[in-house]
């Protein structure tokens, strides 16, 4: 199974929580990714493309697996910072 996801990666949990509140209030995920994310994927609205099991760090992968397509995660801490993940596909 492969998954597709977009994410917003930031260094501070507080900022991640503020961004998540904006998403939950209806703000556009891709626009917020372009504005705030520190990942190079920000230029694509946070899109990470397709990936299979074992390609992402375990906390990221586990959070993504729990989401349904279109779902947005809580703040997910990893060694890279704090992620907000939006699952965009499964195949």
User: Which tens digit of pLDDT belongs to each residue from 30-44?
Assistant: 999 999 999 999 999
- Structure confidence at residue 20 (pLDDT): 98
For residue 87, what pLDDT band results from cuts at 50, 70 and 90?
very high
CA separation for the pair 89, 5 (Å, rounded): 7
- Structure confidence at residue 59 (pLDDT): 97
Query: Structural domain boundaries of the chain?
Result: 2-90
- Structure confidence at residue 52 (pLDDT): 95
Query: Which residues are CB-neighbours of 91 under 8 A, at least 6 positions away?
Result: 1, 2, 4, 50
Helix (H, G, I), strand (E, B) or coil at 66: helix
Ramachandran bin of 15, using left for φ above 0, alpha for ψ from -120 to 50, beta for the remaining angles: alpha
DSSP secondary structure code for residue 28 in this structure: -
| Highest CATH level, class, for 2-90 | alpha beta
- Structure confidence at residue 69 (pLDDT): 98
Residue at token pair 């703000």: 27
- Structure confidence at residue 61 (pLDDT): 96
The stretch 44-58 carries a mean pLDDT of 97
């Amino acid at each position: 199974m492969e998954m597709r996801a977009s994410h917003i990666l930031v260094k501070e949990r507080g900022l991640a929580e503020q961004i998540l509140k904006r998403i939950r209030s209806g703000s556009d995920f891709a626009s917020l990714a372009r504005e705030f994310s520190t990942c190079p994927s920000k230029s694509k609205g946070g899109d990470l493309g397709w990936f299979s099991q074992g390609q992402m760090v375990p906390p990221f992968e586990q959070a993504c697996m729990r989401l349904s397509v279109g779902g947005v995660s809580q703040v997910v801490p990893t060694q890279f910072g704090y992620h907000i993940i939006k699952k965009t596909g499964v195949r």
